[in-house]
Amino acid sequence: MWEHIVTTLGLSALLVSAVAWLARSIITHVLSKDIERFKLQIQKEALEHQIRFRRVDEKVAEALSQVYGRLYPFVRAAKSYVLELESSNEPSKEEKLEITAKAQREFKQCLLDNRLYMPNSLYERAADLARKLAQITSDFRRGLRQEGRAVTTEDFWATAVEGVEQEAEPLFSDIVAAIQKRLGVVDE
């Protein structure tokens, strides 16, 4: 009888151990599948995140490139307009004013079109430069008109050139440096 009890208890213990091992194996298998599924989901989300931000970075780079592409001609046109020394094959002051005005309009539109992808501080500096150049060219145009009527009392030529060289061009250089930094184009 003791033998029968011991055998029954042994078989019961063996059966319980087998069931426990089997349950543990099933749970481990299910959990490992859940873990693998979770890892794949995280990898997928990370990849989607990377792709989304890569697209945003590409849009930012494109926007900054377009803004620079319109800002440079505006600065160059304004500087050409206010220069005293001109060669005979250059456009007249009136034509240069038209070129400057067109460059200003194109820049302002480009700046507004790309505002969404520009850092705010860079947008503000570019808008400030546009206002500064507009003011310089406007004052210069007014000076030319007064000079034509022999009413001028100030050296508007020097004031305009000084404004471009000492205010606008350094601000332009700062903007270019900020764009390059944003795009990761920096000198070592």
Q: What is the CA angle 132-137-139, rounded to 5?
A: 95
Lowest mean pLDDT among 62-76, 126-140, 152-166: 152-166
% of the chain exceeding 90 in pLDDT:
50
% of the chain exceeding 70 in pLDDT:
93
Domains and CATH numbers, the chain: 66-183 (1.20.120)
pLDDT at 39: 79
Q: In the chain, what are the helix, strand and coil shares in percent, each to the nearest 5?
A: 85, 0, 15
What mean pLDDT, rounded, does the chain reach?
A: 86
Q: What is the pLDDT of residues 3-40, one digit of tens each?
A: 777 677 677 777 778 778 888 888 887 777 777 887 77
Place of tokens 């002051």: 93
Residues, the chain, total? 188
| Separation of alpha carbons 127 and 131, rounded Å | 6
pLDDT at 133: 96
pLDDT at 86: 74
Q: How many other CB atoms are there within 10 angstroms of residue 170's CB atom?
A: 11
pLDDT-derived band of residue 141, with 50, 70 and 90 as boundaries? very high
Q: Which 8-state DSSP code applies to residue 154? A: S
Q: What is the pLDDT of residues 53-103, one digit of tens each?
A: 678 888 999 999 999 999 999 999 999 999 877 777 889 889 999 999 999
